[in-house]
Structure 1
Amino acid sequence: MHDATPRFGFRLLAQDGAARTGEITTPRGVIRTPAFMPVGTAATVKALYPEQVKAAGADIVLANTYHLMLRPGPERIARLGGLHSFMRWEGPILTDSGGFQVMSLGKLRTLSEDGVKFQSHLDGSVHMLSPERAVEIQCLLGSDIQMQLDECLELPAEKAEMKRAMELSLRWAERSRTAFERMSAPGQALFAIVQGGVDPELRRQSAEALVAMDFPGYAVGGLAVGEGHEVMVRTLQGVVPFLPADKPHYLMGVGTPLDLIESVRRGIDMFDCVLPTRNGRHGLAYTWGGRVNLKNACHAEDLSPLDALSTCPAARDYSRAYLHHLVKSGELLGSMLLSWANIAFYQELMAAMRAAIADKRFDAWAEETKRKLAAAPDA
């Protein structure tokens, strides 16, 4: 009998140097790449309606396995019809494995070959997150793209420690894949995560071992954890050539507009980061003229819009003076408008990159855009 469920797939549409534009196909829709995924940690992109996220241009959002496993719980979300209907997002959803959050708990967790035992930051209850349980949770949530459980180290770290964590992550990748084959629904995909810190040889070993396991997509994890922009870019330059050209490349937890541009230049297709919404809640806006700090007094009587070039009503239709007032007053509307404006800017940035790659002018576009974005830092 013919299975009508669309398969997960990826196709390249154009390349300019290492920069690529393409499409990821999922049963819930197509993701245009390079893609930026707004972070919906607890089944919500903070301070935004789902309709605003979609209208801003996002094809996919990210949700967090760790937070959802603790509250309201994956079994409850499954009983309620799955994550998509629960949060009223009809498009694709990527869930991380929960590993990064668990590793950041420090003394509240204990690592072993089996997985990570940890105490909830909410009530102190004890939980075990194994590769199999991480996949089970993501399958209960019903996410379209799922991530293997890995160990993410804080950098800098000793080479022996980076090697140990990388090799453990490889063993967990194999276990995650076996569990996924048993539990997943048609059209879902499990991505592997390349680890190895900032050591080129460890990164190569990790990539080659994971490619041999034949995952439908590959993430670069363990960056944006304190190593700095230049080191991150150098690490990417060393690892992306070892990833399959016909599979999506995902850089986890990154980043600033500069990070995105330089990572796309080196062959990355997917990103997620809390910066646009987190900074929006703290009065910092991203515009085509650079970052704008709405807390600054220079905006108090400025009737010009945040960004006249933006397609987003939050950036285009409200004065800087009003946004300054909202931020200084601690009004919720300030967080809502600036988060909306920032998510829209990030989507406009990705759309501009896709167009520049298609037109074979990415390098020229990148240099001009970087110059503009640096023009008025934190004005």
Structure 2
Amino acid sequence: MSSDVNEAFALERSDQLEAARNWEGELRARLAAGTLERLPDGRYRVLTGWDAGEILSVRGIPQHGLDVSRGTAALYSSVPAWHNVGSVIPGGISDIDTVLEHGSIDYQVETVPALYSWNGETRTDEGLFHTVRSDTGASLGMVGSGYEVIQNRRAFEFLEELVNDSGVIWESAGALRGGKKVFVSMRLPRHVTVDAEGINDLVVPFIVAINSHDGRSPYQVVVTPWRPVCGNTERLAVADALTRWTVRHTRNATDRIHEARRTLGLSIKYFDRWAAEETALARTDLAIDEFSKMVDALWTPDDSATARSTRTREVRRDRLHSLFAEEAERTGRTAYAGERAVTGYLDHYAPIRPSAASGLKGNEQGARGLRLLEGTDDDLKTTAHRRLMLLRQR
């Protein structure tokens, strides 16, 4: 049975709500049993067991991290999406202006001089500017004089040709971090199958374009295989195939965006090459000790690690081995199962600590979604992929 990225997000939201309720019940039980004590700041200290002395924060209902500057979550989707918020248009949209409107990303961005106060007078910093939303007046970032704004429509309109030419539909669009980061995604009209004669694993190909207005990150177009059975993003670097194309916000940036029309054709070829390599992994046996060696290669053990770091490493190894066992039960004890375990861990379980600078401090789920969107862990996934591909030569 297949689903898509948005259905996976909706299912994940349901699981998160249930987990939050379970956590609250567990918290009350541990307080009653005297194994936790409540601190004045609302956190809790563990009193017994291995984690005695550790400070815990309450796990509230996860937040979505989407922009709400206009009073509702800035998200359009063709199906109930992310966390059951935003504008849902069944069947999808093929018109770019309608997508921008329903995703609440139809605003312009302007640059205005950066001002500062000195001895009671307002002065202008000649070398710095603020990027500002035209609809709300909110500052999105601080940039230099060489920064070029890439307007949202210009950033995404070239993909509309794919809608007209190949029948793909805009799948979703939205804004994160108060509109500093915006995105659109398109699902290609064909699926990719890994090991059709064996495990017959279905993969859904997406193209995602990401624009930013914070002065910190480039405009990006990425191709992303999405594995519906577990919700993992399987974006990996394979031979001679582009998975990412970027443009910095400098002079003539908007002109260079249209070069993506040419390079995107190379990126789309990625899916066939990716499926061929994944099929090879699905036909390569992987022993438990080989999987352990790969884990240690990805997260090198530190002989001088503290007790806390050692415990964190043990928890990670246990989680990875559990994921490997689950995948192996479905697809066999293969290199493919090992790779799925690593991508699953990075996408759903690896600890993250959103910083204040990211605009998502305290919002772990929003930060995790942004990491998936931007491909923060792509290099680590590719390292695992390449290591496992070497096993074919045994």
Which TM-score applies when normalising by structure 2?
0.25
Which TM-score applies when normalising by structure 1?
0.26
* Larger RCO (CA under 8 A, 6+ residues apart): 1
Higher Cα radius of gyration: 2
